[in-house]
Amino acid sequence: MPESVSSVRRFQMRRIVAKFGGTSMGSADAMRKASAIVRSVDGEVIVVVSAVTGTTDALIALGNTAVEGGDWEVLAGRIKERHRMLVRELDLDLHQQLSVLLDEMWSICRVVAQFGELGPSVLDRLLSLGERLSATIFAEHLVVDGVNAEMVDAFDLIATDRQFGCANVDFPVTNSRTAGVLFPMITNSVIPVVTGFIGQSNAPHRYTTLGRGGSDYSAAIIAAAMDATELQIWTDVDGMFTADPRVIPGATVLTQLSYAEAGELAYFGAKVLHPKTIKPAIEREIPVRILNTFNAAAPGTLINSEECASIKSITSKKGITVVNLVSLGMLDAHGFLAKIFTAFARHEVIVDVVSTSEVSVSVTVDRKVSSALVEELRTFATVDEPETGMAIVCVVGEGLRTQPEVLGRLFSAVGPVPVSMVSQGASKRNVTFVVAERDARRVVAQVFHEFFESDPTL
Ligand code: ASP
Ligand code: MG
């Protein structure tokens, strides 16, 4: 009987996974704000943290300096001082725990410098220290604030393969390990403070990392494993915007986005969310909320399965190069696309937008195209001189898919500006225009005006 009562209560309890990014861990003041947020949650909380802002970059530089025989101790000293200062400012008694982690950093660097070798597994171990330091400090800060919190190393939760630097998660093992460690904690009213970004490889067990910006992904994995009611991503902006506020002063925070729309936005320049984050959350239909640690009262952006028929956001990206290719063997063009993509892949150049006709293909890349790549492409295609100084303008919204008139309005809003490529994503939720850089701002403004200023319903 008591058990069924408690399971009913448990079912109704809100369970929040709250992930704090690097800037939310970046200073004593930021940590105080994050602590106040954790304390204000009504329900169960699991905290996931990034490294203190800039630490992962600093650790990469540290490893590189050590392997090149440079003065790595100066860099290690800066990382140490940054964390020691946080501890001092927060008035925490963490000398012992911090020393253990900092000693580990020193030992790794000494070995790297001695052997002149920095293998991927050693680098991941070095990088793991960023999140292990921030989680240790933040957990202790919560304790001093009267919260029953405990640091949890995601090494014990997230199981991965051995692809160091960008490891793939073994979900069945991860889900059971995470539930096994975290459920007993939250049942005993302990708030876990979990390191983002890191995991543990299969045997021989080593630290792995999930790719840069991977703490959002860690938080989503944990939210899915724990069947959370909401995943909160606490960052330093008010949410996702209708357009870049630096380009369009009238841009506003989006109150709601569908999962698919958020995924499209993440790919096309809105840096707020890691695209992979979406996946574990979508699979369990867990709502994701983007919130601002430094403006906690703002409602943020809610991302869930609701698909309303509207245009949501306009993004743009400059520094784009367009490559136009025409097949040499007009009547024997099969395999043309495959050859093109193989050539780009061989030169490790990622293609963003593609548009094709029977014999010609245009692609965009976000960097200069080397002459070696052009030479290779010229063995099977006529290739014009790549057009540099271009920009991508990307319009995202379920309305593009569900309301035919929206597309018409979009094209007339782009109007007389010369467009060198147009592409509609397979999901039909985005349309991308490639225009000259100097026209990008005008196109964004015109589209913004059409959908956000003239008709408030769209
Ligand atoms: N600290 C890691 C990075 O800077 C992961 C994260 O912050 O999400 O990439
Ligand atoms: Mg991040």
Q: DSSP secondary structure string, 249-276?
A: TT--B-SEEEHHHHHHHHHTT-TTS-GG
Q: What is the pTM of this model?
A: 0.87
Mutate to test the pocket of ligand 1, among 62, 138, 197, 210 (most ligand atoms within 8 A of CB): 197
pLDDT at residue 368 in the model: 86
Beta-strand relationship, 351-356 and 256-258 = unpaired
> Once rounded to an integer, what is the mean pLDDT over residues 316-332?
84
Residue closest by Cα to atom 8 of ligand 1: 213
Query: What is the CA(24)–ligand 2 centre distance, in A?
Result: 10
Mutate to test the pocket of ligand 1, among 215, 272, 273, 277 (most ligand atoms within 8 A of CB): 215
Query: Over 70: is that where the pLDDT of 26 sits?
Result: yes
Estimate the crossing angle of helix 120-144 against helix 28-40, to 10 degrees. 70
The span from the CA of 2 to the CA of 40, in Å, is 28
pLDDT in tens, 387-436: 999 999 999 999 898 888 999 999 999 988 999 999 888 778 889 999 99
Binding site membership of 196 for ligand 1 (Cβ less than 6 Å): yes
Percent of the chain clearing pLDDT 90 (strictly above) = 76
> Once rounded to an integer, what is the mean pLDDT over residues 39-57?
97
Query: What is the CA(48)–ligand 2 centre distance, in A?
Result: 12
> Once rounded to an integer, what is the mean pLDDT over residues 225-248?
92
The span from the CA of 304 to the CA of 26, in Å, is 29
- In the block, which residue shows the tokens 């540290």? 62
pLDDT at residue 262 in the model: 85
Rounded to a whole number of angstroms, the distance between the first and last alpha carbons of the chain is: 52
Which phi and psi (to 5°) does residue 63 adopt? -60, -45
Query: What is the CA(119)–ligand 1 centre distance, in A?
Result: 20
The span from the CA of 16 to the CA of 42, in Å, is 9
Binding site membership of 425 for ligand 1 (Cβ less than 6 Å): no
Q: Could you tell me the pLDDT band of residue 275, with boundaries at 50, 70 and 90?
A: low
pLDDT at residue 270 in the model: 58
The span from the CA of 214 to the CA of 195, in Å, is 11
**Which domains occur in the chain, in start order?**
15-236 (3.40.1160.10), 313-453 (3.30.2130.10)
Binding site membership of 56 for ligand 1 (Cβ less than 6 Å): yes
Is the separation of the CB atoms in 434 and 320 below 8 Å? yes
Residue closest by Cα to atom 6 of ligand 1: 213
Percent of the chain clearing pLDDT 70 (strictly above) = 93
Q: Could you tell me the pLDDT band of residue 7, with boundaries at 50, 70 and 90?
A: very low
Query: What is the CA(53)–ligand 2 centre distance, in A?
Result: 9
Q: Could you tell me the pLDDT band of residue 323, with boundaries at 50, 70 and 90?
A: very high
Q: Could you tell me the pLDDT band of residue 336, with boundaries at 50, 70 and 90?
A: confident
How many CB atoms are located within 10 Å of the residue 245 CB? Answer: 14
pLDDT in tens, 382-400: 999 999 999 999 999 998 9
The span from the CA of 282 to the CA of 390, in Å, is 34
Strand order from edge to edge, sheet including 44-49 = 149-152, 191-195, 44-49, 15-20, 230-235, 288-292, 301-304, 256-258
Tokens of 128: 């793991």
